[in-house]
Amino acid sequence: MIPGQLADLHTHTILCGHASGQPEEFLDAAIAKGLKYYGISDHLPSPDGFDQESRMMMLQYPEYRQIVQNMKKRAEGSGLEVLYSCEMDYVPGRMREVADFVLPEQYDYIIGSIHTVNGFLVDHPDYTPRFLECGVDFMWNMYFDMLCEFVTGFPFHILGHADLPKVFGYRHSDPATVAHRMGSIFELCAEKNIMVEINTAGWRKPVGEQYPSLELLKLARERGVCITLGSDAHKPEQIAADFDKAIALAEAAGYSCAYTFKNGNPIELPFR
Query: Does residue 232 bind Zn ion (CB under 5 A)?
Result: yes
SS3 string, 111-146, reads EEECCEECCEECCCHHHHHHHHHHCHHHHHHHHHHH
Q: Which is nearer to Zn ion, 54 or 177 (CB)?
A: 54
Q: Is 200 in the site for Zn ion (CB under 5 A)?
A: no
Closer Cβ to Zn ion, 81 or 87, answer by number? 87
**Number of residues in contact with Zn ion under rule CB under 5 A:** 3
Residue 28: which H helix or E strand, with range?
A: helix 23-32
Query: Which residues, 110 to 149, sit near Zn ion by CB under 5 A?
Result: 113
Shortest Å, Cβ 89 to Zn ion: 8
How far apart, in whole angstroms, are the C-alpha atoms of residue 199 and residue 11?
Answer: 10
Residues contacting residue 11 through CB under 8 Å, at least 6 positions apart: 26, 30, 38, 39, 40, 41, 42, 230, 231, 232, 233, 239
Which CB sits closer to Zn ion, 232 or 242?
Answer: 232
In terms of CB distance, is 75 or 114 closer to Zn ion?
114
Least distance in Å: CB of 2 to Zn ion?
Answer: 26
Q: What is the largest CA-CA distance in the chain?
A: 53
CA distance 181 to 33: 36
Among 66-74, 84-92, 138-146, 189-197, the segment contacting Zn ion (CB under 5 A): 84-92
Q: Does 197 bind Zn ion (CB under 5 A)?
A: no
Contact footprint for Zn ion (CB under 5 A) = 87, 113, 232
